[in-house]
C-alpha cells in the first residue's frame, strides 16, 4: 500500500447509496485522487463498497472517526486494516490510552498497516461551538493541544483545518501529516463549514491532503470541478 503524498486530493463520497457513489467513482482516475468513505455511505453500503473501491485501484480513507474505550477502538481500527484501507481515524479527544491502544494494535499487524490519524476540532466548529462544549479559547489553541497529544501517542497525523496548518507544521514537524477538510474554491458555497480555505492556499499553508466533498460531488460537472482543483493543486 502506497504511503506517498500524491495524489493529494481526497474526494469525500458523501452519497446515500453505493450506486450513486460508483456512478461518480467510475469516471475518476486513481492517479488524480484518493477516496473517502464516511459515516453515511459506510452505514448504507458497508465493507463491500470499500472492497469495490479498492478493486478499482483507489486508496481509501475510512473516515468513521472512532471514539470509544481503548479496547473497542483498537478492535475497530484492526477491522479497518483487514479491509485494506489506506487511512483510518479516531477522535483525539478519546485520549492518550485510546490512541496508544489503536497505534499498538495496528503496529502488531506489521508494516503494511493503514495510516492512523486523529480528528482535532471539526472544521464546522468555531469558537462559540467550542465554548458550548466547555472548551474556552480558540479553535487554533485546542487543535495545537490535541495535535501534540496525537503526535506523542505516535500517530501519523491529524485532521484539522488548513488555517491551522502553518502552526502545526512548525510545532509538529514536516512528517506529521495534516489532512484538511473545509476546502472551498472561491466560487463554492461554504455550507456548514466554518474554518475554510481555497485549495491553493491550503497547499501553500502546509496541508498534505485536501478532503473535498460537495464542491466536487454537488457540482453541475463533478469531473470538471475535480480537474480544475487538481490543476490548481499540482501547479502550486
Residues with a known catalytic role = 63, 65, 68
Q: Does 213 sit near ligand LLZGTKA7 (CB under 6 A)?
A: yes
Q: Please, which residues have CB within 8 angstroms of residue 204's CB and are 6 or more apart in sequence?
A: 236
Q: Does 139 sit near ligand LLZGTKA7 (CB under 6 A)?
A: no
Residue number with CB closer to ligand LLZGTKA7 (12 or 88): 12
CB of 36 to ligand LLZGTKA7, least distance (A): 6
**Residues 112-131 vs ligand LLZGTKA7: string with x where CB under 6 A?**
-------x--xx--------
* Strand partners for 157: 117, 177
Q: Does 94 sit near ligand LLZGTKA7 (CB under 6 A)?
A: no
27, 69, 91, 146, 221 from 50: Cα distances, Å: 17, 25, 21, 29, 24
Q: Distance between CA atoms of 53 and 22, rounded to whole angstroms?
A: 8
- Identify the residue among 197, 212, 225, 229 touching ligand LLZGTKA7 (CB under 6 A): 212
Which residue positions form the known binding site for substrate? 14, 36, 63-72, 123, 184, 193, 213-214
Q: Which of residues 161-190 bind ligand LLZGTKA7 (CB under 6 A)?
A: 181-182
Q: Distance between CA atoms of 231 and 71, rounded to whole angstroms?
A: 43
- Identify the residue among 87, 211, 226, 233 touching ligand LLZGTKA7 (CB under 6 A): 211
- Identify the residue among 7, 8, 11, 12 touching ligand LLZGTKA7 (CB under 6 A): 12
Helix ranges, 2-159 (H): 18-25, 39-55, 70-82, 96-107, 127-132, 139-152
CB of 112 to ligand LLZGTKA7, least distance (A): 25
* Strand partners for 212: 11
Three-class DSSP category at 172: helix
Q: Which stretch binds ligand LLZGTKA7 (CB under 6 A): 70-78, 79-87, 131-139, 208-216?
A: 208-216
Pairing of strands 177-180, 9-12: unpaired
Residue whose CB is nearest to ligand LLZGTKA7 in the complex, by number = 213
Q: Distance between CA atoms of 161 and 178, rounded to whole angstroms?
A: 9
Cβ 80 vs Cβ 60: under 8 Å: no
Q: Which stretch binds ligand LLZGTKA7 (CB under 6 A): 67-75, 145-153, 169-177, 213-221?
A: 213-221
68, 71, 87, 151 from 206: Cα distances, Å: 30, 34, 19, 17
Residues that bind ligand LLZGTKA7 (CB under 6 A): 12, 14, 38, 119, 122-123, 159, 181-182, 191, 193, 211-215
Amino acid at each position: 500500500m502506497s504511503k506517498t503524498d500524491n495524489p493529494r486530493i481526497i474526494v469525500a463520497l458523501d452519497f446515500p447509496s453505493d450506486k450513486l457513489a460508483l456512478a461518480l467513482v467510475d469516471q475518476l482516475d486513481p492517479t488524480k485522487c484518493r477516496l473517502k468513505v464516511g459515516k453515511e455511505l459506510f452505514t448504507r453500503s458497508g465493507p463491500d463498497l470499500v472492497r469495490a473501491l479498492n478493486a478499482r485501484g483507489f486508496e481509501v480513507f475510512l473516515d468513521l472517526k472512532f471514539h470509544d474505550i481503548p479496547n473497542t477502538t483498537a478492535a475497530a481500527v484492526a477491522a479497518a486494516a483487514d479491509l485494506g484501507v489506506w487511512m483510518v481515524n479516531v477522535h483525539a479527544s478519546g485520549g492518550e490510552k485510546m490512541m496508544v491502544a489503536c497505534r499498538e494494535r495496528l503496529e502488531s499487524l506489521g508494516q503494511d498497516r493503514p495510516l492512523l490519524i486523529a480528528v482535532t476540532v471539526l472544521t464546522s466548529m468555531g469558537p462559540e461551538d467550542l465554548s458550548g462544549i466547555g472548551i474556552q479559547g480558540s479553535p487554533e489553541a485546542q487543535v495545537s493541544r490535541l495535535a501534540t497529544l496525537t503526535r506523542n501517542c505516535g500517530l501519523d497525523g491529524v485532521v484539522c483545518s488548513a488555517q491551522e496548518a502553518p502552526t502545526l507544521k512548525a510545532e509538529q514537524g514536516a512528517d506529521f501529516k495534516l489532512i484538511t477538510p473545509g476546502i472551498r474554491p472561491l466560487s463554492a458555497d461554504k455550507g456548514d463549514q466554518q474554518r475554510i480555505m481555497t485549495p491553493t492556499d491550503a497547499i501553500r499553508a502546509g496541508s498534505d491532503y485536501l478532503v473535498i466533498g460537495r464542491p466536487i460531488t454537488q457540482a453541475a460537472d463533478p469531473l470538471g470541478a475535480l480537474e480544475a482543483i487538481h490543476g490548481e493543486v499540482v501547479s502550486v
